[in-house]
Amino acid sequence: MWNTIKQHMEAHPERLKIARVLIENGLSVRNGKIYLNDIEIPPVRVARVAGFDRRTVKETLNTIQNNQELRPIFQDIRSAGHSLKEIARHLNLGVVEITPTDARTPGILASSTQILAKNGLSIRQAIVDDPELSPEPKLTLIAEKKIPGELIPQLLKVKGVAKVSVY
């Protein structure tokens, strides 16, 4: 997906950056307008986040609307929903953040969740960064209670895991 977007916008780095902001935030483009699911977002808000002016956002929206390959990608994207990561400590939940050596290595999610399950931890949420969109993709698992420190060595033994942070 990202390669398609990049191919059509690489001549305009500012539009590519705006497209990245749209994708990273799950914002869709329909009829020349920006939406977070069904909530319309003013272009000026995206412009501020991307570091460009409203006109550049409008130009990006026009590029997307007028391109047969880009339109369906941006038209149908939706926000993946809320993340409990930032509020986990307020809810007495445990968080483990796993950085892979290569995010395309199969089994990291399965093996990591299996370790938590074998240790009696129920997973409330799993968030996996897309390796095409994130420069340093991570797997974030949020469990029903604090993650015991003794699970770190087990998680580090999972094939493809480079680093483990628990908080």
This prediction has a pTM of 0.80
* Same domain? 98 vs 160: yes
Same domain, 90 and 159: yes
**Same domain as 106, residue 140:** yes
Q: Give every CB contact of residue 100 below 8 A, 6+ residues apart in sequence.
A: 108, 137, 138, 139, 160, 161, 162
Phi, psi of 126 (to 5 degrees): -130, 130
Query: If you average pLDDT over residues 23-34, what whole number do you get?
Result: 95
Q: Are residues 39 and 21 in the same domain?
A: yes
Mean pLDDT of 9-38: 95
71 lies in the same domain as 93? no
Q: Which residues pair with 164 in a beta bridge?
A: 98
| Contact (CB, 8 A) for 93 and 142 | yes
Helix axes 13-24, 2-9, angle to 10 degrees: 150
With a CB cutoff of 8 Å and minimum separation 6, the contacts of 106 are: none
Task: Please count the structural domains in the chain.
Answer: 2
Specify whether 97 is located in the same domain as 68: no
Sheet with 94-100, edge to edge strand ranges: 123-128, 139-143, 94-100, 161-166
Q: How confident is the model at residue 15 (pLDDT cuts 50, 70, 90)?
A: very high
The last residue of one of the domains, among 53, 76, 99, is 76
What per-residue confidence (pLDDT) applies to 3? 87
Give the pLDDT band (50/70/90) at residue 121: very high
| pLDDT tens-place string over residues 63-108 | 999 999 999 999 999 988 889 999 999 999 999 999 999 999 999 9
pLDDT confidence bin for 13, thresholds 50/70/90: very high
- pLDDT tens per residue, range 156-167: 999 999 999 999
Q: Show which of 76, 99, 130 is a domain's final residue.
A: 76
Per the structure, the complete domain to which residue 151 belongs is given by: 85-166
76, 102, 123 - which closes a domain: 76
